[in-house]
Amino acid sequence: MTYGAVIKRYLLAGLVSGILCALYLRILGEPVIRAGLDFEDSLPSEGPADPELFTRDQQVLGGMVALVFVSLLLSFLFGTLYAFLRHRIINGQGDVRASTTLAALAFLLTVVVPWIRYPFLPPGMGNGETVWKRGFWELLLIVTGIVAFVLIQFGIARLKGRMSGDVRWILAIVVPVVVIGLIMFIFPSVSDPYPDGIPAQLIWSFRIRSLGSYALFWAIIGIFGGWLVSRAAATSSPGSPPSIPLKDPVPQG
């Protein structure tokens, strides 16, 4: 398959994912966000409130539209990565499994790892300084985790011939977990004092539902995108070249 053919299908998957995630957050996420905003409004004001430029309904609609565009951008980046790696990781297992595996890995490295170290905060918590500090360390943790994972996989791949494929497969899972866990431990914490009286259920409902939206996005990208590519590959000519023809440097166990 060509690069363009792969990208078109992942953009379609990104559009579907963006719409479904926007509906998910509107139905399941918005009640928790409104509860957080109501709690914030109930706190004693330290000064005159800033006038709202947009109503909450306008903010929700704008957020839903922005989410669709972000989903398209992320699906484009993921599709590009999959087109580059497709002939290396497909390995007879099919596009659906290969795409889902890669999406699951992206979910773990870009969502779960920073979520564990820097859990999401509902509206009404944190301040401008901690928000920027939290965002900086989250981004740095994501980049560091991805780089560490890639370097570990390359290092394990070079061990072919020195140990069995089963051992290398175990190392490819265990070593990244240990190394990234240590990286998470080293990264500084960014603590935000919880406002007095805020329900713990509100905090965890926001965190779990936010995590669920990311899981929904990556599941649709991985499964539906892989299914679209698989159907297209089945109808293309058997002799068509891979998306990006490169020599496979990853040893197979």
For the ranges 146-155, 201-210, 237-246, which has the lowest average pLDDT?
237-246
Q: Are residues 106 and 133 in the same domain?
A: no
Question: Do 22 and 100 sit in the same domain of this protein?
Answer: yes
Reported as a pLDDT band with limits 50, 70 and 90, residue 216 is very high
Rounded mean pLDDT of the chain? 83
**How many domains does one find in the chain?**
2
Element (H, E) at 2: none
34 and 107 inside one domain: yes
Q: What is the pLDDT of residue 124?
A: 60
The dihedral region occupied by 93, where left means phi > 0, alpha psi between -120 and 50, and beta the remainder, is: alpha
pLDDT value of residue 126 = 59
Q: Does 139 share its domain with 238?
A: no
Q: Judging by beta carbons within 10 Å of its beta carbon (0-12, 13-18, 19+), is residue 115 exposed, middle or buried?
A: middle
Whether the pLDDT of residue 220 is over 90: the answer is: yes
- Phi-psi category of residue 161: left, alpha or beta, with phi > 0 → left and psi -120 to 50 → alpha: left
Within-domain flag for 46: no
Alpha-carbon span 228 to 223, nearest angstrom: 9
In this predicted model, what pLDDT tens digit does every residue of 5-22 receive, in sequence order? 999 999 999 999 999 999
Q: Which residue has the higher pLDDT, 121 or 20?
A: 20
Distance, CA of 62 to CA of 253 (rounded, Å): 49
Answer yes or no: do 120 and 165 share one domain.
no
Q: What is the DSSP letter of 6?
A: H
Q: What is the pLDDT of residues 132-167, one digit of tens each?
A: 888 899 999 999 999 999 999 888 888 877 777 788
- 2 with 100, same domain: the answer is yes
Do 18 and 94 have their domain in common? yes
Task: Give the model confidence (pLDDT) of 179-203 as tens digits.
Answer: 999 999 999 987 776 666 777 788 8
Note whether 144 and 248 are same-domain residues. Answer: no
- Assigned token pair, 153: 């996989």
What's the angle, vertex CA 19, arms to CA 231 and CA 213, rounded to 5? 100
List the domain range (segments joined by +) for residue 156: 128-193
Domain termination residue (choose one: 172, 193, 214)? 193
Q: What 3 state SS string does 144-212 have?
A: HHHHHHHHHHHHHHCCECCECHHHHHHHHHHHHHHHHHHHHHHCCCCCCCCCCCCCHHHHHHHHHHHHH
β-bridge partners, 163 = 160
CB-neighbour burial class of residue 185 (10 A; exposed 0-12, middle 13-18, buried 19+): exposed
